[in-house]
Amino acid sequence: MSAQRVLVLNGPNLGRLGSREPDVYGATSYPGLVRRCTALGAELGMAVDVRETNDEAELVGWLHEAADGAIPVVLNPGAFTHYSYALRDALAQRTAPAIEVHISNPSAREEFRHTSVVAAVASGTVAGFGIGSYTLALRALADLTEPSPAD
């Protein structure tokens, strides 16, 4: 049996992890995040493909790819979380579980960050656990995509 393919998609500024506001986003670099996600994915029987873009259209295209291939997704939309209806509409087309992820807790930050336009079309949201939010999301996807045992 081949590994379950999973996309871990990251929006704007997440490629700057490790140097971008470490008091908010921690000291783990983007390559460190990629290593952590792919290693855990391998443990969970997943083939994890981690991507990052500052381009809304590219992120929408990746969500279309996931929908067309019934590929589970971990999505950190970054700032697109709060206003991108295009991203929301792309995620609404999902054909497999999708977990919205945030490193910080948006509800504990500036008021404009309190609203997520994608949350309502995600399977769930994990936020506020630093880079560990990705770990929790991948574990949730593993549970959500695990075949049901025969009764």
* Enclosing H/E stretch for 46: strand 46-52
Q: Which residues, other chains included, contact 39 with Cβ-Cβ below 8 Å and sequence gap of 6+?
A: none
Q: What CA–CA distances, in Å, run from 21 to 1, 71, 78, 91?
A: 42, 32, 14, 28
Per-residue model confidence as pLDDT tens digits over 74-97: 999 998 998 899 999 999 999 999
**Does any domain span residue 113?**
yes
For residue 150, being part of any structural domain is answered with no
Residues of the chain with pLDDT under 70: 1, 18-27, 107-110, 112-114, 148-151
Question: Is 71 among the annotated ligand-binding positions?
Answer: no
Q: Is residue 151 part of a domain?
A: no
Give dist(CA 6, CA 72) in Å, integer. Answer: 5
DSSP 8-state secondary structure symbol assigned to residue 99: E
Are 87 and 60 within 8 A, CB to CB?
Answer: yes
Q: Which domain holds residue 81?
A: 4-145
Q: What is the pLDDT of residue 28?
A: 72
Instruction: Check residue 148 and give its pLDDT.
Output: 61
DSSP state of 3: P
- CATH number, position 99: 3.40.50.9100
> Is 64 flagged in the annotation as binding?
no
**102 tagged catalytic:** yes
Residue of 25, 64, 83, 134 with catalytic role: 25
- Residue 20 included in any domain: yes
- Let me know: does 69 contact 94? Beta carbons within 8 Å: no
In the chain, the percentage of residues whose pLDDT exceeds 70 is 85
Cα torsion 74, 63, 80, 100 to 10°: value is: -20
113 appears as a binding residue in the annotation: yes
Domain count of the fold of the chain: 1
Catalytic residue, candidates 85, 102, 114, 134 = 102
Q: Is residue 127 one of the residues assigned to a domain?
A: yes
Burial class (CB in 10 A: 0-12, 13-18, 19+), 2: exposed
